[in-house]
Amino acid sequence: MARVSRLICLSGDLMDGGDALRFVLDDGRPAFVQRWHGQVHAYVNSCAHVPVELDWNPGKLLDDSGEWLICATHGALYAPDSGECVAGPCAGRRLQALRLTEENGEVHFHDNEGMADE
């Protein structure tokens, strides 16, 4: 039976506005978790414009302002807390959000389909 929850990292591993942490879903799709304004958010790491990973340098997902996730390929900007594309070739579309919880210093991913070890 597929797992429904998995420890991704410790809370202290994610600095607010710092690098994202990458992980892999069971179906092989890359994903990431980012702390932004104190909250953790996770998305499938695939641009809504063309299905490529957003980051050229692993985990470097925020733009210079620290306010937007940016796709390194064509510069689409995404709201870190909703995944909505606010500027660029896919404006109005969004990243696929993943469900997380953060409790007792741990960040867990929840998915009925489970996920693979990286």
Footprint on this chain of ligand FES (rule: CB under 6 A) = 47, 49-50, 52, 71, 73-74, 76, 88-89
CA angle 46–99–32, rounded 5-degree value: 35
Pick the closer one to ligand FES by CB: 19 or 53: 53
Pick the closer one to ligand FES by CB: 90 or 115: 90
**Shortest distance, position 53 Cβ to ligand FES, whole Å:** 9
Per-residue tokens: 20: 């994202």
